[in-house]
Amino acid sequence: MTLLLWLYGNTKMELKIVLSTLAVLIFLPAAAVVVVAASGVSLVADALAFVNPTTKMVDLFDPNGNKVASIELSTTWPTTGYVSDEFGTHESWRKALGLGVHSGIDISNSFDTPITTFMDGVVINNDSVDDSPCGKSVTIQHVHNITSLYCHLNNPAMLPIGSKVTPGDVIGYMGSTGTSTGSHLHFTTKVYGILVNPRIFMVGEPPAQ
């Protein structure tokens, strides 16, 4: 009995060590991901694209830090309405829905408000199946390894892959497909596949109407 108690006691201690190690292993990556998403990615993104205070142009860099180009800011917001959520937020309602740090800008308006591209590009994806958090969506490839993604569309315009688009062309209509609580556009921009705050490319605010 004494031996059994001794064994039990030791096993319990071992279990405690194993469990606490496991807990660290399980929780560390989650904490690390949150930290990377909240600060690391934006630090990387800030090094890839930023507004030059002197020229008022967007300076673009490759991941090695070499300057690739300077481009004009865009005056064409992808849709009308008001910004209902900024890039990089992680509000409690977002956590409650199991969502991570906000990867784009949300612009809210009524269903079927037209959506356009924020700069010249080519349609590289036109997802008309509502089976992902992004819902129905359009992805556009721009110059200098910039891509933009337009989520939660009611109906994509069904532009064929390879279609050339310019600001003003309708690429889809606002909706609430995917993980969404109401009619809005989720607008994401990436440089070299890394999330960048869309505001870096944009002047002012989206027009109300």
Question: With respect to Zn ion, which residue has the nearer C-beta, 60 or 183?
Answer: 183
Residue nearest to Zn ion (CB): 186
Using CB under 5 A as the criterion, which residues of the chain lie in contact with Zn ion when the complex forms?
Answer: 106, 186
Alpha carbons within 13 A on the beta-carbon side of 30? 8
Question: With respect to Zn ion, which residue has the nearer C-beta, 142 or 186?
Answer: 186
Tokens of 25: 């292993």
Least gap, CB of 186 to Zn ion (angstroms): 3
Least gap, CB of 162 to Zn ion (angstroms): 27
- Give the sign of the dihedral formed by CA 104, CA 129, CA 110, CA 122: positive
Question: With respect to Zn ion, which residue has the nearer C-beta, 186 or 190?
Answer: 186
Question: With respect to Zn ion, which residue has the nearer C-beta, 11 or 181?
Answer: 181
Count of C-beta atoms within a 10 Å radius of residue 176 = 16
DSSP 19-88: HHHHHHHHHHHHHHHHHIIIIIHHHHHHHHEEE-TTT-SEEEE-TTS-EEEEEPPB---SSSSEEEE-TT
Least gap, CB of 100 to Zn ion (angstroms): 11
On whether the CB atoms of residues 45 and 195 are closer than 8 A, the answer is yes
Question: With respect to Zn ion, which residue has the nearer C-beta, 126 or 188?
Answer: 188
Q: Is 73 exposed, middle or buried (0-12, 13-18, 19+ CB in 10 A)?
A: middle
Beta bridge partners of 121: 165
Which run of H or of E encompasses 116? strand 114-116
Question: With respect to Zn ion, which residue has the nearer C-beta, 14 or 86?
Answer: 86
Residue type, 45: A
Least gap, CB of 26 to Zn ion (angstroms): 28
Least gap, CB of 102 to Zn ion (angstroms): 6
Least gap, CB of 187 to Zn ion (angstroms): 8
